[in-house]
Amino acid sequence: MKIKSIKYENTEQEWGFDKIDFFDLTLLVGVSGVGKTQILRSIYSLKRIANGSSENGVKWEIEFQTLKGNTFTWKGEFENIKATNELIPHFVEDESEKNKPKIIFEDLNGSNGTIINRSAESFLFDNKEMPKLNSSESALNILKEENEIKEIFESFKLIILRDHTQKEGGRFSGLSVEKLKRKYDSFEKIKESDLDTFHKLALTYEVSKQTFSEILNRFIEVFPQVEDIKIEPVRDNEFSNFVFEATVIQIKEVGVNKWIPHNRMSSGMLRTLLHIAEMYLWNDGTVILIDEFENSLGLNCIDVLTEDLLYDESNIQFIATSHHPYIINKIPFDNWKIVTRKGSIIKTFDAKDFDLGNSHHDRFLSLINHPFYKQGIS
């Protein structure tokens, strides 16, 4: 899918943002605490709503295009159930169905008119009255098997949040790659699966040597000290604390005899490998939300990963946040969205609407010194 625009409000937490228009590559820039991460999490919350989650006090409107080129507008609102204790979320207090927030209204419109029109009193699908259905679930989830809705429901599954503020290394997979191979026995099946990048990469190592070789060569461009990578189950005594077979990524460095497992790789090295892999393994139409793109990366990693974002030719949309001057400088200012916040209202502005100079260097310096940017939160 491609997200064209989103408007979002959380009445429980009393914050929101006006309509934001997105590009194929959008870089959200602004001072810390201004709301960049909140924008990404809001987008991801719409995926949860599409999948049946009940999000207290959320009101939204999103315009998007599916892989088939069809454009839709989906909007709605959940009631705001006041928590008895503001520090305890409502879903912790009571998980029962009767206490889940209910949908106040929900509309889905396409080029041929209204598809879904839903309120507390009625539920119309293609102008036909529907029986009483779960009022705490989105119509997209309820009707996901219908031909008109399936294309839309599948689109929201393509939204992925990559939070690089969280540690990515140090974990091993207990899933058997041999068993997964029976289900995902071709590269196309691997790409189309809902598996995470770790398992997709492990399967690609087994199923598509050519693709894995391309990933390896790209990785070696960034880390020339690496000469090979393997992904295999490990049953060595070194991993005897595991009661199951552990799938481990291992690298071989020039002049080093012992293979290095991924829990001993630097976080930047592992992140770079997974990111390069993702450029090959993501489905067309994927929307990638990347928070703090530069986190734990060295300049050599940042350089190649930024190039991947800029010159990716697949049908993928990137929405990222960054504070790093090198990243901001590398990405054309036409793709910048300056994020500001006044009280609880987040606003974004196109950088191209400001006079930020002619060169990349001039534009970055002008950006960080611009009163509008420096003001940030007011």
pLDDT tens sequence across 183-229 = 999 999 999 998 888 999 999 999 999 999 999 999 999 999 999 99
- Half-sphere exposure of 164 toward its Cβ, with a 13 Å CA cutoff? 22
Which residues on adjacent β-strands are paired with residue 117? 107, 124
**Report field, pTM of the whole predicted structure over 0.85:** yes
Q: What is the DSSP string of 213-225?
A: HHHHHHHHHH-TT
Residue 127 structure tokens: 């102008």
pLDDT digits over 18-62, tens only?
999 999 999 999 988 999 999 999 999 999 999 999 999 999 999
Per the listing, tokens 């974004």 go with 348
Rounded Cα distance, 96 and 90, in Å: 11
